[in-house]
């Protein structure tokens, strides 16, 4: 090798080593901001602003990646594929998404009511207060057919609220299971059986404490009945093996959804997060990072996908999930899950039998310390199901339901997704597995923990910080019936 070439090669090696150690933010400031601007607003060397709705789209992920890697012909945009690895190039796309989200929020603000009325693509709506006090960290909301509303509180309570009465008049049910109230754990999901009128069953999912001082825990599912102010007839539906309990207080997952009736019986689906042990999401012998499926009485269905796989847990329905905290069937019978990504890359996935959703091998996010992870697309030989929608940056997806009507008929069948850190409720329209439309319905009122469509079609939202329960009620249709 001649000296000049050797120096050139070493130069590339050193540059790429230096670039690798850098935060994504640092790379942007050193290599990109001179033309695109610190905040992505453009101006240098003929660049346009990256802050536009058009460019803030997941359809542009690949195009952005390719532009950075290969350059843009006939413009000043250089190719970085020689000096940066693919992971860093993807990290820069993630950084652009963060700049766009910030910039667009500054320009457009949050949905704002006029005279109390919010306008959106197909309906106008008002926000009505349901509860301003009386709850501590409400985690889940569901409805009894007689109009009573069930709330869980993460510290370990279930309350029954009669609309119109004072919040002080909703004492917690006696006899609900003990929980480990630490970190992300506690009393989490409550779900009323769709055939409640006939069977009276209510389901709970929570962090079940075990061991000395109850310091280890794992997601557990039980069902029981509510008689007066008592929780009775409790039966365990799912309890993981003792060795799966851990001291981690992260990623319990913890939502429940019921399948359609099969000859008078129903399947029960529930999700458990990776509990901070990411590799377990790929291990079929572990409950972590899975959507599970049982009969509603806890028995394992004979036709579950892994019943005959040696070592696999028989309840596993799908795997490779990080921390799913939204789970619902839509009106076409598809099951949907929303899950938290790391820094960037929350996902909306259509849950299909036996499929692998990729965590921790791939995801759209980067590491929390702002260093790259890898590209979000499967490589040759990897067989992962990709999300229908990814949130970049993350909203900390939590709570998912479907608009069922009769209120808001033009939203019927649309998914309603909440976000904690994003403080957002979004309406998401997917048809035939394809994302068609999305819009923010509320933003900035608090951390959205759960969303639930009431029997009358109004949409309940449980907020944390500050604690509030509100509902969206129709304020007149704008005459537009839907499909864009
Ligand atoms: C010397 C100026 C210059 C530098 C440095 C530069 N770009 Fe560009 N970039 C451009 C121009 C010019 C375009 C094409 C016009 C446009 O899209 O604004 C472009 C286009 C892009 C696009 C496509 C955007 C679109 O509108 O479709 C992306 C993404 C991009 N650049 C990212 C980066 C990143 C990341 C870096 C740093 C690693 C970088 N650029 C460095 C000038 C530059
Ligand atoms: Ca995934």
CATH of residue 157: 2.120.10.30
Domain membership of residue 359 (yes or no) is yes
Q: Specify whether 8 is located in the same domain as 153.
A: no
At which residue do the structure tokens 């990072």 appear? 289
What pLDDT, in 10s, does the model give residues 251-292? 999 999 999 999 989 999 999 999 999 999 999 999 999 999
140 - beta bridge partners?
152
Which of 456, 425, 460 lies closest to 443 in space, CA to CA?
A: 425
**In terms of C-beta density within 10 A (0-12 exposed, 13-18 middle, 19 or more buried), how is residue 112 classed?**
exposed
Asked whether residue 1 carries a pLDDT value surpassing 90, the answer given is: no
Question: Do residues 318 and 290 make contact, with C-beta atoms less than 8 angstroms apart?
Answer: yes
Residue 358: pLDDT band (50, 70, 90) is very high
Cα(436) to centroid(ligand 1), Å: 28
For residue 303, is it left (φ>0), alpha (ψ between -120 and 50) or beta?
alpha
User: Are 179 and 209 in contact, with CB atoms under 8 Å apart?
Assistant: yes
- How far away, in angstroms, is 289 Cα from ligand 2 center? 11
**Quick check: CB of 67 below 6 Å from ligand 1?**
yes
Is residue 296 a contact partner of residue 201, using CB atoms and an 8 Å limit?
yes
With a 6 Å cutoff on the Cβ, whether 75 touches ligand 1 is: yes
Q: Find out whether the beta carbon of 79 lies less than 6 Å from any atom of ligand 1.
A: no
Confidence at residue 285, expressed as pLDDT on a 0 to 100 scale = 98
Instruction: Answer yes or no: do 42 and 123 share one domain.
Output: no
Alpha carbons 103 and 52: distance in angstroms, whole number = 9
* Per-position b or e across 320-352, b if 16+ CB within 10 A of its CB: bbbbbbbbbbbeeebbbbbbbbbbbbbbbbbbe
- Among 108, 143, 178, the domain boundary falls at 108
Which member of 31, 95, 123, 251 is catalytic? Answer: 251
pLDDT digits (tens, 9 = 90+) for 172-227: 999 999 999 999 999 999 999 999 999 999 999 999 999 999 999 999 999 999 99
pLDDT classification of 405: cutoffs 50, 70, 90: confident
Please say if the pLDDT value at position 2 is more than 80: no
The rounded Å distance from CA 475 to ligand 1 centre is 44
3-state secondary structure of 444: coil
268 and 380 part of one domain: yes
Question: Is position 174 annotated as part of the catalytic site?
Answer: no
pLDDT band at 483 (very low <50, low <70, confident <90, very high): very low
* Beta strand pairing call for 424-431 and 434-443: antiparallel
pLDDT tens digits, one per residue of 50-106: 999 999 999 999 999 999 999 999 999 999 999 999 999 999 999 999 999 999 999
For residue 23, give its domain range.
Answer: 3-108
Q: What was the pLDDT predicted at 18?
A: 53
Task: Decide if 74 is inside a domain.
Answer: yes
| CA-closest residue to ligand 1 atom 18 | 47
Last residue of a domain, one of 90, 108, 126: 108
**Residues 189 and 54 occupy one common structural domain:** no
89 and 142 belong to one structural domain: no
Residue to mutate, 72, 88, 93, 96, ligand 1, most ligand atoms under 8 Å from C-beta = 72
CB of 294 closer than 8 Å to CB of 238: yes
> For residue 44, which ligand has an atom nearest its CA?
1
The mean pLDDT of the chain is 93
Q: Whose CA is nearest to atom 11 of ligand 1?
A: 77
Is the separation of the CB atoms in 440 and 426 below 8 Å? yes
Q: Cβ(72) to ligand 1 under 6 A?
A: yes
Please report the pLDDT score of residue 442 as a whole number: 97
User: Any idea which of 58-62, 96-100, 159-163, 480-484 has the lowest mean pLDDT?
Assistant: 480-484
- How far does the centroid of ligand 2 lie from the alpha carbon of residue 321, in Å? 6
pLDDT in tens, 94-151: 999 999 999 999 999 999 999 999 999 999 999 999 998 889 999 999 999 999 999 9
Burial pattern 170-189, b for ≥16 Cβ within 10 A else e, equals: bebbeebbebbbbebbbbbb
Pair 202, 72 in one domain: no
Q: In terms of domains, do 46 and 143 share one?
A: no
Q: How many domains does the chain have?
A: 2
Q: How far apart are CA 321 and CA 298, in angstroms?
A: 22
Taking alpha carbons only, the member of 346, 436, 443, 421 closest to residue 391 is 346
Task: Specify the DSSP element, H or E, that contains 95.
Answer: helix 86-108
CA of 189 to the centre of ligand 2 (A): 23
Using pLDDT thresholds of 50, 70 and 90, give the confidence band for residue 479.
very low
Q: What helix, strand, coil percent values describe the chain, rounded to 5?
A: 20, 35, 45
Q: Is the minimum distance from the CB of 43 to ligand 1 under 6 angstroms? A: no
CB 268 within 8 A of CB 237: yes
Q: What is the reported pLDDT for 9?
A: 46
Q: Which ligand has an atom closest to residue 31 CA?
A: 1
Per-residue pLDDT band for 168 (boundaries 50, 70, 90) equals confident
Residue with CA at minimum distance from ligand 1 atom 20: 77
SS3 at position 448: strand
Cα(22)–Cα(465) distance, rounded to whole angstroms?
A: 35
Percent share of the chain, pLDDT over 70:
94
Rounded CA gap, 224 and 230, in Å? 10
- Identify whether residues 70 and 141 lie together within a single domain: no
Q: Which of 71, 87, 108 is the last residue of a domain?
A: 108
| Residue 122: DSSP 8-state | S
Residue with tokens 């000859």: 263
């Amino acid at each position: 090798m001649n000296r000049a070439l050797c120096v050139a090669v070493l130069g590339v090696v050193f540059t790429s080593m230096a670039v690798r150690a850098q935060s994504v933010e640092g790379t942007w400031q050193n290599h990109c901001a001179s033309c695109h601007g610190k905040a992505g607003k453009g101006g240098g060397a003929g660049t346009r602003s990256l802050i536009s709705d058009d460019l803030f789209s997941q359809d542009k992920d690949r195009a952005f990646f390719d532009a950075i890697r290969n350059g843009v012909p006939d413009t000043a945009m250089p190719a970085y594929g020689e000096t940066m690895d693919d992971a860093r190039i993807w990290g820069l796309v993630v950084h652009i998404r963060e700049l766009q989200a910030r910039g667009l929020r500054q320009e457009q603000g949050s949905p704002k009511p006029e005279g109390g009325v919010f306008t959106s693509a197909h309906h106008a709506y008002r926000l009505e207060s349901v509860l301003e006090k009386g709850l501590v960290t409400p985690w889940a909301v569901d409805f009894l057919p007689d109009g009573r509303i069930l709330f869980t509180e993460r510290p370990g309570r279930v309350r029954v609220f009669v609309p119109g009465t004072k919040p002080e008049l909703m004492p917690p049910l006696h006899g609900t299971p003990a929980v480990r109230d630490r970190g992300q754990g506690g009393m989490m999901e409550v779900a009323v059986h769709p055939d409640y009128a006939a069977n009276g069953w209510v389901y709970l999912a929570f962090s079940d404490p075990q061991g000395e001082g109850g310091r280890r825990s794992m997601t557990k599912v039980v069902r029981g009945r509510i008689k007066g102010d008592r929780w009775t007839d409790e039966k365990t539906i799912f309890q993981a093996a003792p060795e799966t309990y851990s001291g981690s207080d992260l990623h319990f997952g913890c939502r429940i959804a019921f399948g359609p009736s099969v000859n008078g019986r129903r399947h029960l689906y529930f999700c458990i997060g990776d509990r901070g042990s990411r590799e377990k999401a790929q291990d079929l012998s572990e409950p972590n990072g899975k959507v599970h499926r049982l009969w509603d009485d806890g028995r394992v269905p004979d036709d579950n996908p892994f019943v005959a796989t040696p070592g696999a847990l028989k309840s596993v329905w799908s795997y490779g999930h990080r921390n799913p905290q939204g789970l619902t069937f839509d009106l076409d019978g598809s099951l949907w899950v929303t899950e938290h990504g790391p820094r960037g890359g929350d996902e909306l996935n259509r849950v299909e039998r036996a499929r692998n959703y990729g965590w921790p091998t791939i995801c759209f996010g980067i590491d929390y310390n702002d260093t790259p992870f890898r590209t979000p697309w499967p490589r040759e030989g990897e067989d992962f199901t990709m999300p229908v929608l990814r949130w970049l940056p993350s909203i900390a997806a939590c709570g998912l339901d479907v608009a069922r009507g009769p209120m808001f008929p033009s939203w019927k069948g649309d998914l309603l997704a909440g976000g904690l850190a994003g403080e957002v409720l979004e309406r998401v329209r997917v048809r035939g597995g394809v994302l068609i439309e999305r819009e923010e319905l509320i933003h900035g009122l608090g951390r959205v923990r759960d969303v639930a469509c009431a029997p009358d079609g109004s949409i309940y939202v449980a907020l944390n910080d500050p604690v509030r329960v509100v509902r969206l009620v129709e304020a007149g249709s704008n005459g537009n019936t839907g499909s864009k």
